[in-house]
Amino acid sequence: MTSIADRIEGPPLADGGTKTASDTAAVTAAPAITIPAAGERELRLDLFRGLALWLIFIDHLPTNILTWFTIRNYGFSDATEIFIFISGYTAAFVYGRAMLESGFMISTARILRRVWQIYVAHVFLFTIFLAEISYVATRFENPLYSEEMGIMDFLKQPDVTIIQALLLRFRPVNMDVLPLYIVLMLFLPLILWLMKWKADVTLALSVLLYVVTWHFDLYLSAYPNGFWAFNPFAWQLLFVFGAWCALSGARRMGRILSSPVTMWIAFAYLVFAFCVTMTWHFPQLSFLMPRRLEQWMYPITKTDLDVLRFAHFLALAAITVRFLPKDWSGLKSIWLRPLILCGQHSLEIFCLGVFLAFAGHFVLAELGGGALLHFAISVAGIVIMSGMAWVISWYKHSADKSAKKKGAVGNADMAGGG
């Protein structure tokens, strides 16, 4: 591990002398976060981010057989929590290292460049999505598609709606995750700067903002009315928690996570959440839920990241870390390769998934197929997403090899010329 304190402390004194009191004080005052040494990718993060993308795609389709394999049917949280947590973790890991090596200004510039890339992807997806829905609604003379996908206001006032879309205030159905991600990434420089000072205090401030959001009902308004489907003031807690885990938090929680007591608590909570969700699917079991418990729990809102959802994600994460080690050989299995590739190219695959979800919705609405067609469309979408991830990976790998080859030739030419 290379810590910020090590970097500030610097190399040993050339004369072998001891540090002065001022040197010791400088080290003591150093920020208490660490960045793991650069090396092989953390494939578990890629695996579960790819899984989250698959689950989001399936959940965006009409209910089908594969829907029963998504986690939202068996607990309080769903794939969105996985995606946002891993996004915070990987962003802090990558740009936290950049902040240590290049400073605050350079790392902030890199973060803003990434924010711009995500924003451009969102605008591009918005344009393609509108064109797809408008064409289908006109071609098949079915205005219900426009209403179901939430673009009626665009068709009525396209000039105003486009401005609102560029401001992230207008979003059709299934296009809420990227605006949330954009806002969270905008504040990443501040988050990293605070964590460089005091990581635990930063996490505490995030919790405080979460509590204040619930107490004072803070939210961002949407166009033409309502509010953001994912409230950034609340969801920032999961993003910041992911960043905190990346910057030494997970390492310092190792003893807690390995404790049998933690495991039993996590298992018990997951069983409790499973039993509660079963009463949603089978109303005849609702008599098993005490009235006071229902009054205390409901509604379990996703918009403001209900604490029960957050706790459910924590329980899943604790068990996953315990039983899926970093060096598990299965992570290099050919069977998990599609998931990992999708996770490594999450932005492109997410945008493709949104496009495919509406295409699948259209096919099912027009053909009225049964369970077999539902299943086939779900599998086809996953295959297309995996194929696209492979193509992107192959292209980037080929481009890297070509750049290295050109660099080697250029160096040889310079050496020969010299």
Using pLDDT thresholds of 50, 70 and 90, give the confidence band for residue 38: low
Helix pair angle (232-244, 188-197), 10° resolution: 50
The contacts of residue 214 (CB under 8 Å, 6+ apart) are 234, 304
User: Residue 24 — pLDDT band, cuts 50, 70, 90?
Assistant: very low
Query: Who has greater pLDDT, 334 or 134?
Result: 334
pLDDT in tens, 284-301: 988 889 999 999 999 999
Would you place residue 411 in the very low, low, confident or very high pLDDT band (cuts 50, 70, 90)? Answer: low
Domain range annotation of the chain: 78-277
**Structure tokens of 235?**
């969801």
Tell me the mean pLDDT in the region 367-380: 84
34 sits in which H/E element: strand 34-35
Q: What integer is the mean pLDDT of 341-364?
A: 91
- The pLDDT assigned to 413 comes to 53
User: Sign of torsion, CA 343 349 354 357?
Assistant: negative
Task: Report pLDDT digits (tens) over 86-115.
Answer: 999 999 999 998 888 889 999 999 999 999
Q: Band of the pLDDT at 365, cuts 50, 70, 90?
A: confident
Euclidean distance between CA atoms 21 and 26, whole angstroms = 9
Which percentage of the chain shows pLDDT scores above 70? 84
pLDDT at 10 over 90: no
What is the C-alpha separation between 89 and 56, in angstroms, rounded?
19
Query: Higher-confidence residue: 361 or 341?
Result: 341
User: How many angstroms separate the CA atoms of 168 and 115, rounded?
Assistant: 13
Please determine, for residue 27, whether its predicted confidence score (pLDDT) is greater than 70.
Answer: no
Q: Which tokens hold the place of 315?
A: 């329980």
Q: How many CA atoms lie within 13 A of 405 on its CB side?
A: 6
In this prediction, residue 36 carries a pLDDT of 57
Contacts of 266 (CB under 8 A, 6+ apart): 314, 315, 316, 318, 319
Q: The whole model's pTM is what?
A: 0.86
pLDDT at residue number 40: 59
For the four alpha carbons of 321, 339, 306 and 215, in that order, the dihedral sign comes to positive
Q: In sequence order, what E strands does 155-252 have?
A: none
- Asked whether the bond before 12 is cis by omega within 30 degrees of 0, the reply is no
**What is the per-residue pLDDT for 145?**
65
Average pLDDT value for residue range 57-65: 87
Higher pLDDT, residue 79 or 12? 79
> What is the structure's pLDDT at 351?
94
Residue 77's pLDDT band, with cuts at 50, 70 and 90, is very high
Q: What is the pLDDT of residues 323-340, one digit of tens each?
A: 998 889 899 999 999 999
Residue 25: pLDDT above 60?
A: no
Phi-psi region of 298 (alpha: psi -120 to 50; beta: other; left: phi over 0): beta
289 neighbors 328 (Cβ within 8 angstroms): no
